Structure 1
Amino acid sequence: MKAVARWLLAALLVAAGVSHLTWGRRGYRITVPDWATKALRTDKDMIVVASGAVEIMLGAALVVLPADRTRVGAIVAAFFVAVLPGNVHQWRTGRSAPLMRTDRSRFVRLFLQVPLIAWTLWSTRSDEVAR
């Protein structure tokens, strides 16, 4: 069951990453808060591209690094925490982005972070660590 959940999570990350680099790239720039560009000294497009590349790498790492799955899972969970300010910004500003065109969808998206993090940690936790 955990293996299937891990593969699904990997597929989700890769698909999200590809969307950041292709069809959704322009729309995702809207979710990047202005303070992030100042803090990282770059533009919104670069943040979207970098986050997409990271999502693809993390998704791939979940599959190709089984011996490090607990460590990779912790990194994926941290990534989900790191992108939360962008989700909050999008909700507060009411800006539409790919798949987030209504206030309700943007609000619900905020609460999906917790299950994503839990899913990540559960599916990547070693059975030895669980005992």
Structure 2
Amino acid sequence: MKEENTKKIAKIALGAGLIFAGIGHLTFARKAFQAQVPNWVPLKKDDTVIQSGLVEIALGTALIFAPEKHKKTVGKIAAGLFTAVFPGNIAQYRNKRSAFGLDTDTKRFGRLFFQPVLVYWALRSTGNIK
């Protein structure tokens, strides 16, 4: 498979994952996502979850459907989002909040290492990293 096809599939998969997560923010996983909102965020946890869910749906849609000329910009924005929400993963670990099957310190700690993978995935699949 050509590298460009692999990148396209990876970009679409990431976009679909963001859309799915965004829908989860608004519906079936709303409470679980609240466990990741750090206490220092100046909004209500539910408002933060709803707003971030809308952002994820919009960004996932952009990853899938944005014109080629905007691909790199959308990838950078996605990487920025994954970086911006990382404090939520840290808060979940530090505050020992169980959600998404992360019910031990070991699992919550292991989750911290997945966020850089998402940042890389967003940048690589959109041509920002060769």
| TM-score of the two chains, using structure 2 as the length reference | 0.89
Indicate the structure with greater helix content. Answer: 1
| 2:123 aligned partner, one-letter code | L
- Residue 38 of structure 2 corresponds to 33
1:7 equivalent to 2:12? Answer yes
Q: Which aligned segments of 4 or more residues in structure 1 are displaced greater than 3 angstroms? A: none
Question: Tell me, which stretches of 5 or more residues in structure 2 are unaligned?
Answer: 1-5
| 1:17 aligned partner, one-letter code | G
What does residue range 1-131 of structure 1 map to in structure 2 within 5 Å? Answer: 1-37=6-42, 42-67=43-68, 68-125=70-127, 130=130
Tell me the matched-pair count.
Answer: 124
Distance in 2 between residues matched to 1:53 and 1:116, nearest whole Å: 19
What is the CA-CA distance between 1:63 and the residue it aligns to?
1.2
Deviation string 1:40-66 (CA, Å, 9 cap, x unpaired) is xx2110000011111111000011113
Structure 2 SS opposite 1:19: helix
RMSD: 1.4
Deviation string 1:57-101 (CA, Å, 9 cap, x unpaired) is 100001111321100000000000000001000001111112322
Distance in 2 between residues matched to 1:14 and 1:102, nearest whole Å: 27
| 1:76 aligned partner, one-letter code | A
The 1:30–1:113 alpha-carbon spacing in structure 2 relative to 1, beyond 3 Å, is: same
| 2:113 aligned partner, one-letter code | F
Question: Tell me, which stretches of 5 or more residues in structure 1 are unaligned?
Answer: none
Distance in 1 between residues matched to 2:93 and 2:31, nearest whole Å: 18
| TM-score of the two chains, using structure 1 as the length reference | 0.89
- Residue 3 of structure 2 corresponds to none
- The share of aligned pairs that are identical, in percent, is 44
